Structures are given as structure tokens and as C-alpha cells.
Structure 1
Amino acid sequence: MRTKRLDKNFHIDHMTFEEFQQVILWAKHEGWNPGINDARVLYDAAPEGYLIGKIGEELVSSVTAIIYQKRYAFMGMYIVHPKYRGMGYGYAIWQEAMRRLEVSSVEVIAMEATLPQVERFQSSGFDVAYMHDRFIYDVNGGERQTAKVWDVTEESIDDVCAYDDMFDVEARKGFTRNWLGIPGVEAVYWSDKIHGEIKGYGVIREAAEGYRVGPLYAHDITIASEIFEALGSKARNGAQLMIDVPENNQAGSRLMRSRCGDIKGQLARMYKGGTPPERMNEMFGLFSVKIG
């Protein structure tokens, strides 16, 4: 839906990869701290879901609406260039993304919202399900990888991807493998033996500032702690690790408070169409704020 304040040359297109790279820079300037090598894998996951608003060829606003398979979608990267805020360009591209999802087979739409934006999204039919608490950990050089934490290799990656699928509302075919192939990514899993049952795994990647940890999934707090420790051992001494933990995973909150101290920020997980079942007690770290 357009308003009378929109420039007559404003239009909404599918985003090219080059335009997405610019939007990633917008996200960095917003303080979202994206992974430095995220762009290609995120874009290739569903390029048809990336929308860009432009006046002529000038980039104005962005949003993503990624359909996993058929009935579940995740919205993100909702940004308006500061020059054009408060003029209706964000609303216009948001409405177009919602329209496209509503004519598809999608039943549930998810998103992460900054707290000032929650009320706006509630007016579009989204409800807050829970909060993600952001923690920052300072690497001290004393982190170690214990005997039951193994590096993910080509021999173990299929099993790790199958484990990850258990945490998705709908499996994202090929996405996890591609995520683990991002340059500079380090991933580990927990098992009693090298090719035994997987009871947890985690990923660390370099970000605009420090590192991001995500996902971090584990059967219990002890396994989660060992995985987090192993990931910390792969980061530069003195660097900071950022992780977003579901607040209603009480074990996860205890673990991160003990290691990181106070919460440094919050995001609201919101759904339209109802809250899907989730393995919340095993989710110690969000996969990605941009794609779920």
C-alpha cells in the first residue's frame, strides 16, 4: 500500500545480491553485528524472498520474507535508509512482503523485533512469544575443547545437519550445510564417541565486531557449557562472543549469566498464525536473527 508521501518513482523489486551486500552494511550501521561472510549463504537460501524499495536506482528500504518449505516463513532485514525514515517507505515494503506471503501457502510467519518496533508489528497481527536475551562473553584464552566435543568434518556433517533439522519448524534443505561452509566458520558437536549419537552442536563465525555464536543446541546445560567453551577456544584471545538465548530456556539463561554477566540487550520473537512447537529446553543459542 502506498501513501501520498511516497515519491512517484518509488518501486519495489527483488533484491540483487549486490543490493543485499549494501543492505548488510545498513545492518552493520544499525548495530546488528552481522557475520562478515554471511551474505552469500543468506541470499542463496531464497533470493526470491529478498525485496528492495528504490527511488529510481537509489536504495531506500529493505525486507526479507523467507519461506522455509511451504507453511513457515521468517521475516527480517526490515530497514529504511535514515534519509527516508518516517515517510512511509518502510510501511510500503512491509505491506508488499506481507501480501506476497498471504497469497502463498504460508500458515505461520516468524520474526525477531527490536523492542521499539514491537507495537508496530502487533498492529500487523504478530504476537510476542518470548524474548531473546543477548549476552556478550569476553574470551580469556583459558577456554578448552574437551574430549567429547568434536570438530564438524565432512565425515560428520550429514549427521550434524540431521540433528539441526530437529530444531526447525520446517527443514531447510541444504541451508545448514551451506551455513557450515561459510568461510571462517568453526563448528563442533558433542558425542560420547566420534561417530556416536549427537547430543548437541554449536557454530561460531567472525562478525563485524568480535564473533557470533549460533546456533547452540544441546540436550542439557552441561553439554551446552562444553560446546560454548570449545567455541570460545577457537576465537581470538580478548575477542567478544555474542549469543542470543531464549529467555524461557532457564538453564540457558543461568549458563550465560554465569559466564557473561548481565543481559546486554533483547529481541522479541514474534509470530503471526500461532506459536509453533519448539525444543525450547535444548535451544541455548539462536541460529540467526536474520533467518531464524
Structure 2
Amino acid sequence: MKAAPTHRLQRMSRTDLALALQWATREGWNPGLHDTDLFHAIDPRGHFMAWIGEQPVACISGLRHGVGYGFIGLYIVEPSFRGKGLGLAVWNAALEHLKGCVVGLDGVPEQQDNYARSGFDLAWRNRRYSGLGLGPRPPHPRIVRLAGMPFDSLAAYDRLFHPEPRPAFLQTWIRQRRGTALGWLQDGELRGYGVRRACVHGHKIGPLCADSPAIAEGLLQALCAGVGSQETVHLDVPEPNREALALAERQGFVPGFPTARMYRGPRPHVDLARQYALTALEIG
């Protein structure tokens, strides 16, 4: 590959990140309507953009989730500038920012070999599923609004599914505009939770975590009940959870494109057996 043309790298402002998410929309990734502030707050110093003159040409997010874990997403090069080394430039900036961390990503399979050359190993595959809302339905008596329950119980439950605690992120994720965050409360304990967010096209559900397939099904139906029957709903399902794949298909969701979860460094332990949908491909 030729040396990258003269460019400068700088950390993204919120305005720059909004542009990066517009690029993600163009790529068909369908980000959330309010992802700019949510993603920026995770790690304000972890979003990078390459510029040639006054033109932005490439972007990436390398987000620190706590001390020892990071995640790469929003890795995009403007089409007319691809193959010029600019992607490698932002890639290296993100990895430098995440130095000392175990690093994860959700990449398209055709890029898996490229990520492997940077030391990433395949952990599992995910599958995007898409369906339709259910329209209004009566609520299940065990389903509660997450914002109205003790936050510590949610933070402790979420820790089973993420390599590092993320309380600040959860506080904003469950309260985002045009979003819905529901929990399953049984015998005074949180036994599952899920979040739906409004996206450019339809809605996405993630994360969706539950102690049993029945609880996951109840939460999925409740989250879909807040969406019109002609509106689309998407979720990214980890393929090792066969119950999650069966649930999506039982609810009429159709499988779409795959992604590959990869890690550089020791694979973190997360409870995939109880994880029915990932939070978001851009942030892990």
C-alpha cells in the first residue's frame, strides 16, 4: 500500500461524530437517532477523524470502557479515499488510544483476515435479525420501567454481560430520548432487561438479557409492543445462544447480515447464554 496522502488526525467533536454517524447511515448501519451524545460520552477522547485540508476523509471510535477494556467501531473511510492508507492511519490512532486494553470489535466477515493480522481472534459470530412491531398490548405484570427501579441492581446485573462496569453509560442509555428501557422483576430481583432505541430506520433492541428464554420472550414482546405494526425492529443476536436465535425466529424476525466478534488479548468472560441481543455493534 502506498503511503497515506498528507493528512491530519484529530479527535472528533460532537459535530464530527454526528457526521461520522451520517456516514454510518450511508453505509447501511442504521445508527440510533440520538447516538451522537450517547457514544461521545462513553469516551470523549476516543473518537478520531482524518482530514485532508478541510475535508474529513476517515473516522473510527476506539472507546475505553473502564481501565482494561476497549472497543473499536465506526471504522469508515470515505469511498473516494479508500485504498490510500487513511483507514490504517485512524486504525493505528484508535489502537494507540486503547494501549494496554483488551480490545473488542464487531466486524463484517470479509474484514476478518485484516483484523486477524492486527492480532484479533474470532470469539463468536452475531446475526442481525429484523421484524415488525406488535402495536399496543397490555403490559405483563412483572415488567417494570428500569428508570423507576434501584439503579444498583441494574448495574450489577449488566456486569454479567460486559467486561467492565459501565454505570455512567447505563444511566444515559436507559433514559435516552424516544427510547424504552424495561426490566423483568420477579421475587424482588431483576431477572432480565432490555432497551429499545429509535433509529434512522425503525428501532433497535439492545441489550436484551434474561435469565430464561421465557423472560427474554416477555421482554422482547413488551419492547415490540411499543412499536407500530408496520415499523421495523432490529436486534443483533450472538449466534452461540441458540435459544436467542430460536426466539427471534419464533417471533417472526428474519435473519440478515452476520458480524464477527473478535478480541485482541484474552477473551473476556461474558454470559452469552443469557444474552439475547447485543447493546450496539458500534460500542460493544
TM-score normalized by the length of structure 2: 0.95
Residue 202 of structure 2 corresponds to which residue in structure 1? 210
CA change 1:175–1:234 in 2 (3 A) is same
Whether 2:21 is the aligned partner of 1:29: answer no
Equivalent position of 2:268 in the other structure: 276
RMSD: 1.5
Which residue is equivalent to 1:249?
241
Equivalent position of 1:61 in the other structure: 58
Q: CA deviation at 1:123?
A: 1.0
Query: Sequence identity, in percent?
Result: 29
AA aligned opposite 2:104: A
Displacement of 1:98: 1.6
Q: Which stretch shows the higher mean deviation, 159-168 or 248-257?
A: 159-168
Which runs of 5 or more residues in structure 2 are unaligned?
A: none
CA distance change for structure 1 residues 56 and 246 in 2, over 3 Å: closer, same or farther? same
Distance in 2 (CA, whole Å) between partners of 1:245 and 1:177 is: 23
1:146 to 140, 143, 148: 140
Pair 1:137-2:135 in alignment: no
What is the rounded CA distance, in whole Å, between the counterparts of 2:233 and 2:138 in structure 1? 15
Match of 1:191, SS state, is: strand
CA distance in 1, matches of 2:116, 2:2: 24
State which of 164, 180, 183 in structure 1 corresponds to 2:177: 183
Alignment of 1:111-126 (within 5 A): 111-126=105-120
Per-residue deviation, residues 55-97 of structure 1 (Å, max 9, x unmatched): 1221111111111111111111100011211111101111222
Contact 1:50–1:63 (CA under 8 A) maintained in structure 2: yes
CA offset digits 1:133-152 (Å, max 9, x no partner): 11111124365431111122
Partners in 2 of 1:243 and 1:222 — Cα distance?
17
- Runs of 4+, deviation exceeding 3 Å: 154-158
Count residues with an aligned counterpart.
284
1:169 and 2:166 matched = no
Preserved contact between residue 161 and residue 177 of structure 1 (Cα < 8 Å): no
The aligned counterpart of 2:16 is 19
1:263 alignment partner, SS class: strand
What is the aligned partner in structure 1 of residue 223 from structure 2? 231
Q: Does 1:285 align with 2:282?
A: no
The answer to whether residue 250 in structure 2 is matched with residue 258 in structure 1 is yes
